[in-house]
Structure 1
Amino acid sequence: MSGTITARVSTSTGRALEGAVMTVMSQAGEQQAIVRADADGALVAADIGTGTYTAVITAEGYQPTARVAVVSGSGALNLGQITAARAGGAPVPATGRWEIDPGHSTIEISVRHFGIATIRGRFGDFTGQIEVAEDIEKSAVIAEIKTASIDTDNRTRDDHLRSDAFFDAEQYPIAEFRASQVRPSTDEAWTLSGTLTLRGTAVPVSLELTYLGEVDDPWGGHRAGFRATGSLQRNDFGISFDDKLISGVAQIGSTATVSLDIQAVRTSS
């Protein structure tokens, strides 16, 4: 005779934790079932024989949660609502709207050159807003970068990057990043998922985000610091420049690393 173990898993704010995993273990330590939560956070482990089990619920960035499940016959044993606690308890910024301060922020991009060195550049003209929600995972970011503002400390190279071989700054003067999904990834870091539109092409992009704290500035403002890193595949945006050396090594690598150090000023609560 066998039964079914069910549960629903969510965050502390009630958001369904899709993709959470429930592993059902026997008292002898043998795995009986492993299932993933659906979009509603529902977990269903079927065909579980009678006996006493431990159901362990895990999700990336959250503390494991265990429940005892006693299956006594056919039918469903409902473990009820399980609330997952975020791992680490890392601090989060104050809720409200924050305006990126471009004068005290940097957006840097780097690529491999000839396979032996790294070329770095910065975008000098950009704006952006950060909306921190009560449920931190529902926070949002929007940023606009003027592609013509690229600066690699080499005028000839910068003009080439502004041309249609790369950013095509004349036809596509703005690169836009929008994100509305923030998820914990480690005890101190988050994954910010969004879409980068460059050269008219929108591509999903994820950044590893670290919150650096807050401080009152000398001008009466309240500031927060953030650091984010990620990588882009230039071919995804139609940048297919592929000149190679005689050895076959590409002049410019296909992967670009982006690094952001951001200061933002709180404009509303």
Structure 2
Amino acid sequence: MALGLLRRRRSRSASGAEPGLSIPLPAGAGAFGCEVVDFMGQPMGGAEVTVTALDSHRVVTHGTTDPYGFFMATLPPGPYSVRTAAEGLSPARETVEIAAGAAPPPARITLEPARQLELPPPGAWLFDPPHTAIRFIAKHVGMAHVHGRFTRFDGGIRVAQDMTDSQAWVRIDASSIATGNKTRDNHLRSADFLDVEHYPYIDFVSTRFVHLGGSKWTLHGTLTMHGISRSVGLDTTYLGTVNGGYEQELRCAALAKAELHRDDFTLNYRSMLARGIAVVGPTVQLELDIQAMYHTPDTPTPPE
């Protein structure tokens, strides 16, 4: 199926109207174009557009809008579903029919604000370890990615009346690192890397919650690892609050991610390479898949 994303070229009449798209079309093909704007009517550059054929349910093209909010594709005739999405806004979906030789004017698609999930009630929320995971991905030097996790940790969130005033903390037992390879795990615990004998914990304490729109937040804070403290931001998606579990506990969930650079914590992989040690590369992708239970109205105590 031949597809092409084309630069937008529009012809205007003397009155400024736009009768259609002036683009070259392959034989038997038609064109689809759309202009994506936000709820204030402003162009949405970088919005994701996915076009799916309704007969086969296969994605036939996927891309992003240009800085002016426009997207264009040439397609074989037939019915298609078009989904548009952008950060902090609700996705939109519509059905279009593509006709051979036809290039109609771009459809205007407006993305509305995302539905605001109900925030968790104020109070102390403590991690539920059986339903929480702290994972990481690092590229093995010159080889495939290494996937690992920490199996022992603790954490909590003090939810304030104003969510932006909330605080979160996480304490990870560094010796609980697990990658599925005993030799590598022992090396990661050694003085060459985490040095768990002298630095038994990895700690994160938040300093500020910043709302980015919809369910997206950034948790700014301080991460302490290997005796070094650095400011980091956790890109966080709030997943909502439910009553669940054996006792119908009130629970909330979130997914937080960050990219860490080993050199920032004096975990210098270059010196390891110089000594013939090849464990993981210089960057690590950290992911916290968190489920927390409402505990008390009091503030959980961060680690000292």
Contact 1:229 1:259 in 2 (8 A): yes
Aligned partner letter, 1:228: A
- CA distance in 2: counterparts of 1:117 and 1:182, whole angstroms: 35
Residues 170-249 of structure 1 correspond to what in structure 2 (within 5 A)?
170-216=197-243, 217-242=245-270, 243-244=272-273
Structure 2 equivalent of residue 267 of structure 1: 295
Looking at secondary structure, tell me which structure has more strand per residue: 1
The 3-state SS of whatever aligns with 2:187 is helix
Task: State the AA in 1 paired with 2:257.
Answer: T
Structure with bigger gyration radius? 2
Contact 1:93 1:211 in 2 (8 A): no
The structural deviation recorded for 1:100 is: 0.4
* Partner deviation per Cα, 1:4-26 (whole Å, 9 max, x = no partner): xxxxxxxxxxxxxxxxxxxxxxx
- CA contact 1:115–1:252 (8 Å) conserved in 2: no
Mapped partners of 2:182, 2:269: distance in 1: 19
SS of the residue 2:125 aligns to: strand
Counterpart check, 1:104 vs 2:127? no
Q: How does 1:1-269 map to 2 (within 5 A)?
A: 88=114, 90-91=116-117, 92-216=119-243, 217-242=245-270, 243-244=272-273, 252-269=280-297
Label 1:151 to 1:251 Cα distance change in 2 as closer, same or farther (>3 A): closer
4+ aligned runs moved over 4 Å, structure 1: none
SS at structure 2 position matched to 1:185? strand
Q: Gaps (5+ residues) in structure 1? A: 1-59, 62-86
CA positional deviation for 1:129: 1.0
Give the Cα separation in 1 of the matches to 2:285 and 2:267. 15
Q: In structure 2, list runs of 5 or more residues that go unmatched.
A: 1-86, 89-112, 298-304
CA contact (8 A) 1:131 1:139 kept: yes
- Rounded to whole Å, the distance in 2 between the matches of 1:169 and 1:133 is 34
Calculate percent identity across the aligned residue pairs. 38
Matching residue of 1:55: none
Letter in 2 for 1:149: S
Task: Give the superposition deviation at 1:218.
Answer: 2.1
Separation in 2 of the partners of 1:267 and 1:107?
Answer: 21
SS of aligned partner of 1:261: strand
TM-score of the two chains, using structure 1 as the length reference? 0.63
Structure-1 separation of matches of 2:279 and 2:195: 19
RMSD after superposition: 2.1
Q: How many residues align?
A: 182
Looking at structure 2, the residues matched to 267 and 106 of structure 1 have their Cα atoms a distance apart, in angstroms, of 19
